């Protein structure tokens, strides 16, 4: 079975690493000739809206999927006329536009922070009146890892925030004083079966995910059930097939949805060693129409992103339970170059092992 993937980044690379043992072959489309997935499959170098490149990607493929959500929806739709595209292009559409995403959450009764659309600067006063400050101005499209966001500490910041987001159509969103950030990852098969991983606790710095812990410390069955319910509603509403991630804020006992990703997610990398079936394998099982695998954790896991620099492998691998994943990318400040997953039997041992891994990672980062 040939799986075509829109995007050839590290997520594509890890999809192939999970799918090759299942007898799958991979072909990726990416604008960059040095895309990380080129090491594990065929790479078509081209733009996501290049008709010829899209045709080449789809040629002979059993199913197409994506590892990057900013693929033009029109391209996904035109491909879907020729070959099965999963998750469905409607999921891409909802995830690409913060207004569509918030409306989807609202329609499904999934709570989120107060927000208002800002189509132009003349709409800022009404948005501020509705949402209040402090808030964040976020571009409707092409925002990720904190990009396309500007803080609005007080109403007088609104004008400069508008300039900072490049005068792009945006939303104004109330800043949430969250206790912690969580994410829920769930997978839906072609037969409609849904399985969810235990909630993950995520620590971000400068808008970029740094560390994930799974299961989230102190996780209760009530919290898990509510988050799973959010994911299930989105999956079913969109007729979704594959892995979906929803990022959440926990405020006391309340859960608010921040955003969703219609793909495997950075906060699910721990599942490679830390769960009975990884998110990558389950995504492929789902899109290929195979039975889903169990999502139970193997003990406790933590994932540390390697950003801008990578540690010496020997230093990481000397720590029991530590696993190193390098993506084959050229170092650049702020770039995700790899991750380390640490697995342990209990939270205490996990934290001790994490404390051993950290100095190696921090030394590399300088
Ligand atoms: P996003 O690109 O929307 O995922 O935002 C990146 C990060 O910015 C999130 O993971 C949070 O750490 C922070 N952030 C985003 N939206 C809010 C908000 N409404 N309140 C507080 N922090 C936020």
pLDDT digit string, tens, across residues 255-296? 999 999 999 999 999 999 999 999 999 999 999 999 999 999
User: End-to-end distance of the chain based on CA atoms, in angstroms?
Assistant: 44
Residue 181 in contact with ligand 1 by CB distance below 6 A:
yes
Instruction: Tell me how far apart the alpha carbons of residues 47 and 4 are, in angstroms, rounded to a whole number.
Output: 15
300-337 per-position pLDDT tens digit: 999 999 999 999 999 999 999 999 999 999 999 999 99
Q: Has residue 227 got a pLDDT over 90?
A: yes
Residue 136 in contact with ligand 1 by CB distance below 6 A:
yes
Residue 143 in contact with ligand 1 by CB distance below 6 A:
yes
**Closest ligand 1 atom to 145 CA:** 2
* Helix (H), strand (E) at residue 28: strand 25-30
- Helix, strand, coil percent values for the chain (each to nearest 5): 35, 30, 35
Query: Which residue has its alpha carbon closest to ligand 1 atom 11?
Result: 207
Q: What integer pLDDT is reported at residue 247 of this predicted model? A: 98
Q: Has residue 366 got a pLDDT over 80?
A: no
Residue 176 in contact with ligand 1 by CB distance below 6 A:
yes
**Closest ligand 1 atom to 98 CA:** 3
Instruction: Tell me how far apart the alpha carbons of residues 30 and 318 are, in angstroms, rounded to a whole number.
Output: 35
Q: How far is the CA of 32 from the centre of ligand 1 (A)?
A: 28
70, 99, 136, best to mutate for ligand 1 pocket (most atoms within 8 Å of CB): 136
Q: How far is the CA of 258 from the centre of ligand 1 (A)?
A: 7
Q: Has residue 144 got a pLDDT over 70?
A: no
Rg (CA), the chain: 20
Of 127, 21, 32, residue with least CA distance to 327? 32
74-103 per-position pLDDT tens digit: 999 999 999 999 999 999 999 999 999 999
Mean pLDDT for 189-213 is 96
Q: How far is the CA of 172 from the centre of ligand 1 (A)?
A: 12
257, 258, 260, best to mutate for ligand 1 pocket (most atoms within 8 Å of CB): 258
Cα atoms in the 13 Å half-sphere on the side-chain side of 22: 26
261 sits in the region (left: phi over 0; alpha: psi -120 to 50; else beta) called beta
pTM of the model: 0.96
Residue 113 in contact with ligand 1 by CB distance below 6 A:
yes
Residue 273 in contact with ligand 1 by CB distance below 6 A:
no
Residue 259 in contact with ligand 1 by CB distance below 6 A:
yes
Q: How far is the CA of 146 from the centre of ligand 1 (A)?
A: 7
Tokens of 325: 């994943």
Residue 146: pLDDT band with limits 50, 70, 90: low
**Closest ligand 1 atom to 148 CA:** 2
Say if strands 322-326 and 42-45 run parallel, antiparallel, or are unpaired.
Answer: unpaired
């Amino acid at each position: 079975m040939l799986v075509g993937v829109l995007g050839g980044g590290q997520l594509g690379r890890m999809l192939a690493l999970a799918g090759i043992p299942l007898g799958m072959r991979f072909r990726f489309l990416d604008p960059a000739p040095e895309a990380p997935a080129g090491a594990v499959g065929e790479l078509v170098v081209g733009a996501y809206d290049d008709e010829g490149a899209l045709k080449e990607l789809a040629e002979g493929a059993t199913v197409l999927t994506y590892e990057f959500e900013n693929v033009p929806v029109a391209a996904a739709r035109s491909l879907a006329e020729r070959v099965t595209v999963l998750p469905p292009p409607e999921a891409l559409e909802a995830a690409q536009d913060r207004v569509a995403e918030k409306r989807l959450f609202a329609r499904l009764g999934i709570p989120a922070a107060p927000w208002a659309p800002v189509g132009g600067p003349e709409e800022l006063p009404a948005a501020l009146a509705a949402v209040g400050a402090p808030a964040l101005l976020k571009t409707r499209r092409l925002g990720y890892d904190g990009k396309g966001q500007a803080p609005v500490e007080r109403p007088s910041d609104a004008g400069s925030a508008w300039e900072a987001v490049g005068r792009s159509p945006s939303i104004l969103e109330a800043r949430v004083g969250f206790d912690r950030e969580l994410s829920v990852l769930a997978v839906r098969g072609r037969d409609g079966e849904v399985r969810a991983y235990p909630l993950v606790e995520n620590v971000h710095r400068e808008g970029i995910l740094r560390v994930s812990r799974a299961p989230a410390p102190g996780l209760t069955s009530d919290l898990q059930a509510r988050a799973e319910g959010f994911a299930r509603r989105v999956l079913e509403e969109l007729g979704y097939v594959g892995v979906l991630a929803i990022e959440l804020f926990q405020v006391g006992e309340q859960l608010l949805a921040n955003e969703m990703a219609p793909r495997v997610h950075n906060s699910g990398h721990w599942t490679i060693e830390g769960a009975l079936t990884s998110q990558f394998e389950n995504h492929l099982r789902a899109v290929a129409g195979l039975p889903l695998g169990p999502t139970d954790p193997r003990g406790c896991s933590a994932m540390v992103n390697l950003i801008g620099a990578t540690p010496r492998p020997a230093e990481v691998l000397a720590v029991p339970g530590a696993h190193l994943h390098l993506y084959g990318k050229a170092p650049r400040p702020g770039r995700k170059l790899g991750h380390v997953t640490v697995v342990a039997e209990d939270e205490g041992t996990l934290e001790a092992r994490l404390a051993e891994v950290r100095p190696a990672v921090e030394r590399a980062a300088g």
